[in-house]
């Protein structure tokens, strides 16, 4: 399955922003490797990213460049829940999904993420919590 990485910071293209974008990208690449996702590309954005995200969703659907759009957190996909839901809906209607790594949420039916309670259970050994 093909993943497109979406990395965004709110400030400009200074050294700190480039570092934060690089860290986001590295974490998303690790996530994809752990979940057998092939990285098809990446978009690096500063500012609100609203226009870039809309273009990425449109072109991803139109050109079929990815199956799932992967971001570090729901906050990277927009400043409000309505925008996030609209993006998720637009992708789902086209058989694609959105994945928010830190929240452990995926809307793609073929990507099953372990929820927080399962993670805690897997850390228990012999009735003792680690």
pLDDT per residue, tens digit, the chain (130 aa), is 999 999 998 876 666 767 889 999 999 999 999 999 999 999 998 888 888 889 999 988 899 999 999 999 998 887 788 888 888 898 999 999 999 999 998 888 788 887 544 443 444 444 444 4
What SS3 class is residue 72?
Answer: coil
CA dihedral 61, 64, 68, 70 (to 10 degrees): -80
Place of tokens 């974008």: 21
Apex 12 CA angle, 101 and 44, nearest 5: 40
Segments making up each domain of the chain, as ranges: 2-129
Distance CA 43, CA 50 (A): 13
> What's the longest Cα–Cα distance across the chain?
51
Question: According to CATH, what is the number of the domain 2-129?
Answer: 3.40.50.1390
pTM for the full model? Answer: 0.80
């Amino acid at each position: 399955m093909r993943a497109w990485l979406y990395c965004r910071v709110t400030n400009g293209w200074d050294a700190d922003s480039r570092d934060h974008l690089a860290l986001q990208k590295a974490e998303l690449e690790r996530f994809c490797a752990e979940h057998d996702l092939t990285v098809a590309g990446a978009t690096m954005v500063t500012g609100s990213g609203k226009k870039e995200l809309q273009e990425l969703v449109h072109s991803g659907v139109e050109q079929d460049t990815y199956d799932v759009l992967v971001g570090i957190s729901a906050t990277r996909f927009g400043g409000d829940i309505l925008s996030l839901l609209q993006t998720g809906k637009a992708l789902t209607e086209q058989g694609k999904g959105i994945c928010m790594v830190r929240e452990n949420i995926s809307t793609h039916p073929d990507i099953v993420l372990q929820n927080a309670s399962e993670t805690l259970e897997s850390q228990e050994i012999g009735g003792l919590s680690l």
